[in-house]
Amino acid sequence: MELDELYREAILDHARHPRNFGDLPGSDRSASATNVGCGDAIRLTLRLSPEGSIEAIRFRGSGCAISTASASLLTLAVRGKSAEEAQALCAKIQRLLTGGAAPEDDLPGELAALAGVRRFPQRVGCALLAWHALDEALRERGQTRT
């Protein structure tokens, strides 16, 4: 099986069966993002532990397979990470998708599946939607946004 096919399968699996979809009771951070180009919308809710790591994270939204899959992959990748680690991962994903130097083999779990989106510039915004929302939620240090 070719690498492109593996990537495509991971995206389709997460789009059809999104992980961590729904509301998060007791969340202490949230952020929403909308892709004005296509209408995709994501709302992330998360809860930080007293030590500052992402204890729980979920998302709601409507959109294309890429935005849903990306949000699903995001929730799996950042759970247990510190806010700083999660923000660094956000920056790495943005570099990966916008042509910067972020090798896909340096990404945890199935996140490398997002690399295939680079070939479709009009879909990059879809893939980055949840990552922008996460970055916004984490920048709201000390504020509750539920």
pTM: 0.89
128: three-class secondary structure by DSSP:
helix
* pLDDT by 10s per residue, the chain, length 146: 455 665 688 899 999 999 999 999 999 999 999 999 899 999 999 999 999 999 999 999 999 999 999 999 999 999 999 999 999 999 999 988 887 655 666 787 788 888 888 888 889 999 999 999 999 999 875 444 44
The domains of the chain, with CATH numbers, are 3-139 (3.90.1010.10)
The pLDDT assigned to 129 comes to: 97
Token pair for 37 = 């180009």
Task: Note the helical H segments in 38-123.
Answer: 65-78, 83-97
> Which element (helix H / strand E) includes 7?
helix 3-16
The pLDDT assigned to 99 comes to: 78
Strands 41-48 and 29-34: antiparallel
25: nearest Cα among 63, 56, 49: 56
The pLDDT assigned to 60 comes to: 97
The pLDDT assigned to 26 comes to: 94
Overall residue count recorded for the chain in this entry? 146
Please report, in angstroms and rounded to a whole number, the separation of the first and last CA atoms in the chain.
43
CB 96 within 8 A of CB 108: no
Contacts of 88 by beta carbon, 8 Å cutoff, 6+ apart: none
- According to DSSP, the residues that pair with 57 across neighbouring strands are 46
